[in-house]
Amino acid sequence: MSRRTLIAGNWKMYKTPFESREMVQELVALIGKDPEVEVLVCPPFTGLEAVEEVVSGTPVQLGAQNVHWENQGAFTGEISAGMLLECGCRYVIIGHSERRQYFEESDETINRKLRQVVDTQLVPILCVGESLEQREAGKVQEVIVGQLEQGLAGLSEAQISSLVLAYEPVWAIGTGRTATPEIAEQVHASIRDWLANHYSGELSDRLRILYGGSVKPENTAELMAQENLDGALVGGASLEAQSFARIVSEASSNDA
């Protein structure tokens, strides 16, 4: 089975365009010309152009953190898939738990965004994950299956095959509390089973499932050693070039 590891940095609302440029200049130098894993950075919208100028022609890819579900229109303050593509984006994060929590994104709006993006050249990274309360109530499976069912509703298997999934337990995001490799592996394996049952074994084998939540250089290797973890979505530890490059290198030793 060959699912290429993807190490993605989600910068959230950090870094001005100037700071973004400085950071990726250092990152590109540290990563070198031929990393073993795929490397992606997702700066704020305002940093996309500055970062694109630096990463263009290097192995570091560019992504955005959000997108609107229409390609244009009277939606003040929003950004479309077409705009992101023209800025050089290859990926876009959809349904991050902070969007769900603070901006009232529902599974329905997430589904609309996915439907808009799947037919473009942009690769959506669909985030799912349970809160601590839901975990403690024994509802992990139910919550994740619900997010997947509603998020992916109406998409064909061919469309879904172009996605990347990210499992991000909300209690592990920005808290320093990482899911143990065993907990993460268990959820990733259950997502893969669900995909196999609802779609096909082929799709289930093929989709990459990233893990996110307090990933740092020190815990990358043991997380990435799990069979069903195909990469990481990294917040805090992706903001600094040295630490993000270390995560890339720890993941690379596991990608063989």
Q: Is 98 helix (H, G, I), strand (E, B) or coil?
A: helix
Nearest-angstrom CA–CA distance, 229 and 183: 11
DSSP secondary structure string for all residues of 106-174: -HHHHHHHHHHHHTSSPEEEEEE---HHHHHTT-HHHHHHHHHHHHTTT--HHHHTT-EEEE--GGGTT
Binding to ligand PGA (CB under 6 A): which residues in 7-66?
10
Count residues contacting ligand PGA (CB under 6 A)?
13
Nearest-angstrom CA–CA distance, 95 and 114: 9
Min separation Cβ 96 and ligand PGA, Å: 6
Min separation Cβ 168 and ligand PGA, Å: 6
Q: Is 185 helix (H, G, I), strand (E, B) or coil?
A: helix
Of 68, 96, 105, 130, which residue is the catalytic one? 96
Binding to ligand PGA (CB under 6 A): which residues in 214-233?
214-215, 233
Q: Identify which of residues 8 and 204 has a Cβ nearer to ligand PGA in the complex.
A: 8
Binding to ligand PGA (CB under 6 A): which residues in 153-212?
168, 173-174, 212
Structure tokens at 168: 């991000």
Min separation Cβ 175 and ligand PGA, Å: 7
Regarding 235 and contact with ligand PGA (CB under 6 A), the answer is yes
C-alpha distances (whole Å) from 187 to each of 119, 130, 141, 178 are 28, 11, 8, 14
Q: Give the distance between the most distant pair of CA atoms in the chain.
A: 48
Q: Identify which of residues 28 and 247 has a Cβ nearer to ligand PGA in the complex.
A: 247
Is 96 annotated as catalytic? yes
Give the dihedral of Cα atoms 119, 125, 126, 130; nearest 10 deg: 180
Is 108 annotated as catalytic? no
- With CB atoms as reference, the residue minimizing the distance to ligand PGA is 235
Q: Identify which of residues 97 and 228 has a Cβ nearer to ligand PGA in the complex.
A: 97
> Site residues (CB under 6 A) for ligand PGA?
10, 168, 173-174, 212-215, 233-237
Active site residues: 96, 168
